[in-house]
């Protein structure tokens, strides 16, 4: 897809096409092993053309993380808007995140790859910032659910937020190991139902 529309693009569109190429390539191989030569070839470009827009592979990865963060958080916010209750908003966010990964299986590979890198990099900090903003959204909904009597009044919202994200990560990891990313859509509803029962209000 990126290859077909990468010629003669304005700078912003070329950068976006580069990010899409990285996500597409990461769906089938270790992101750490993706070279700028492969990225350029995937787009039908020379390395020289690629480096007119990015000074290094790290700069490309940083742009990729910005793309992931902006799109995922925007989709989560949209999913939670206008929903009848905090619990329903949590479910909408859960399913939206699952759908995002099912459509872009290269994304979790990039995220996990960055978190496995030793040391501190700007890209790693961007992943950590994404997770912090995600947890903040979950905290707000979990607290609202407690206040409205939907969720357990004694619920530890920090732990519940960690479990929410960890549950998605577990589903994603298992689907990647099995080579069946599409299975996410099938498994997610039942898994969320178990999570929902665990945090629900007690009789």
Tell me what pLDDT residue 188 has: 96
- For residues 74 and 88, give the distance between their C-alpha atoms in angstroms, rounded to a whole number: 18
* pTM across the whole model: 0.88
Domain containing 42 equals 1-55
Tell me what pLDDT residue 197 has: 97
Strand, coil or helix: 151: strand
Question: Which tokens hold the place of 20?
Answer: 């899409």
Q: Give the domain CATH number at 20.
A: 1.10.10
Q: 61 and 41, same structural domain? A: no
Q: 140 and 116, same structural domain? A: yes
Place of tokens 């077909």: 4
Q: Which stretches of the chain score pLDDT less than 50?
A: 1-6
Instruction: Round to the nearest angstrom and report the end-to-end CA distance of the chain.
Output: 53
11-26 helix and 36-43 helix, angle to the nearest 10 degrees: 110
**Model confidence over 94-110: pLDDT tens digits?**
999 999 999 999 998 88
Q: Give the domain CATH number at 84.
A: 1.10.357.10
- For residues 148 and 133, give the distance between their C-alpha atoms in angstroms, rounded to a whole number: 23
Q: Identify any residues that bridge with 95 across adjacent strands, giving them in sequence order.
A: none
Burial code (b: 16+ CB inside 10 Å, e: under 16) for 94-105 equals: bbbbbebbbebb
Q: In this structure, are residues 50 and 36 in contact, taking their beta carbons and an 8 Å threshold? A: yes
Tell me what pLDDT residue 8 has: 52
Please give the tally of structural domains in the chain: 2
Q: 153 and 63, same structural domain? A: yes
Q: 155 and 87, same structural domain? A: yes
């Amino acid at each position: 897809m990126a290859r077909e529309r990468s010629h003669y693009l304005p700078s912003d569109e070329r950068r976006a096409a580069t990010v899409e190429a990285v996500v597409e390539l990461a769906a089938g191989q270790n992101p750490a092993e993706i070279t700028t030569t492969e990225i350029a070839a995937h787009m039908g470009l020379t390395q020289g053309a690629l480096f007119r827009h990015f000074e290094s592979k790290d700069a490309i990865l940083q742009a990729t993380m910005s793309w992931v963060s902006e799109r995922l958080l925007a989709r989560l916010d949209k999913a939670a808007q206008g929903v009848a209750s905090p619990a329903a908003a949590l479910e909408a966010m859960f399913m939206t995140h699952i759908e995002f990964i099912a459509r872009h299986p290269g994304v979790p590979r990039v995220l996990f790859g960055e978190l496995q890198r030793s040391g501190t990099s700007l890209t790693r900090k961007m992943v950590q910032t994404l997770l912090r903003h995600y947890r903040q959204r979950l905290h707000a909904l979990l607290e609202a659910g407690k206040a409205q009597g939907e969720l357990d009044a004694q619920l530890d919202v920090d732990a519940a937020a960690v479990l929410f994200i960890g549950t998605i990560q577990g589903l994603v990891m298992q689907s990647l190991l099995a080579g069946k990313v599409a299975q996410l859509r099938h498994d997610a509803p039942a898994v969320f139902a178990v999570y929902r029962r665990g945090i629900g209000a007690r009789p």
